[in-house]
Chain A
Amino acid sequence: MSKHTLSVMVENEPGVLSRVAGLFSGRGFNIMSLNVAPTLEKGVSLMTIVAEGDDAIIEQIVKQLRKLIPTIKVKDLTELKSVEREMVLVKVNAEDSKRAEILRIVDIFRCKVVDVSADELTIEITGDQGKIGAIVNLLTRFGIKEIARTGNVAMQRSMQIDL
Chain B
Amino acid sequence: MKLTGAQILLKCLEEEGVDVMFGFPGGAVIDIYDEIPNSKVEHILVRHEQGAIHAADGYARATGGVGVCLVTSGPGATNTVTGIATAYADSIPVVIFTGQVPRPLIGNDAFQEVDIVGITRPCTKHNYLVQDIKDLQTIIKQAFYLARSGRPGPVLVDLPKDVQQQTIEFDYPKEVSMRSYNPTKEPHIGQVRKVAKLLKKAKKPLFYTGGGVITSAAHEELTWLGQKLNIPVTSTLMGLGAFPGDDGLFLGMLGMHGTYAANMAVNNCDLLLAVGARFDDRVTGRVDSFAPGATIVHIDVDPTSIQKNVSVHVPIVADCKSALAALKKETEATLGDFDWAGAHKEWVDEVQGWSAEHPLTYKDDGKSIKPQYVVEKIYEITKGDAIIATEVGQNQMWAAQFYKYTRPNTLLTSGGLGTMGYGFPAAMGAQRAFPDKLVIDIAGDGSIQMCIQEMMTVVCNKLPVKIIILNNGYLGMVRQWQELFYEKNYCSTCMDAQPDFVKLAEAYGAVGFRVTEKKDVEKTLREAFKVDKPVIVDIRVEKEENVYPMVPAGASLTEMLLV
Contacts and interface: CB of A to CB of B under 8 A. Distances in A.
Interface in B155-186: 178-181
Contacts of B180: 10-11, 69-72
B178 A15 contact: no
Interface stretch (A18-26, A97-105, A141-149): A18-26
A158 to B, nearest CB: 24
Q: Interface residue tally of chain B, by bracket?
A: 10 to 19
Given A56-B307, A67-B302, A67-B303, A72 B121 contact: no
A121 B6 CA distance: 60
B179 to A, nearest CB: 6
A22 B179 CA distance: 22
B129 interface: yes
Given A15-B121, A22-B121, A71-B180, A63 B303 contact: yes
A27 to B, nearest CB: 9
A47 to B, nearest CB: 13
Tell which of A15, A19, A56, A66 has the most Cβ of chain B within 10 Å.
A15
Tell which of B126, B180, B181, B302 has the most Cβ of chain A within 10 Å.
B180
Q: Interface residue tally of chain A, by bracket?
A: 10 to 19
Interface in A54-68: 56, 59-60, 63-64, 66-67
A14 interface: yes
B366 interface: no
Given A60-B304, A63-B303, A69 B126 contact: yes
Contacts, number: 36
**Which secondary structure dominates where chain A touches chain B?**
helix
B304 A67 contact: yes
Contacts of B122: 22, 26
Contacts of B118: 15, 18
Contacts of A64: 304
B516 interface: no
Contact of B307 (A59, A69, A72): A59
Contact of B121 (A11, A18, A60, A71): A18
A69 B121 contact: no
Interface in B124-156: 125-126, 129, 131, 146
Nearest to B302: A67
Contacts of A71: 180
Given A11-B180, A22-B122, A63 B304 contact: yes
A60 B278 CA distance: 14
Nearest to A59: B307
A69 B131 contact: no
A69 B304 contact: no
Contacts of B181: 69
A154 B7 CA distance: 48
B146 A14 contact: no
Interface pairs A-B: 9 shortest CB-CB: A69-B126, A63-B304, A72-B180, A26-B122, A63-B303, A67-B304, A64-B304, A69-B181, A22-B121
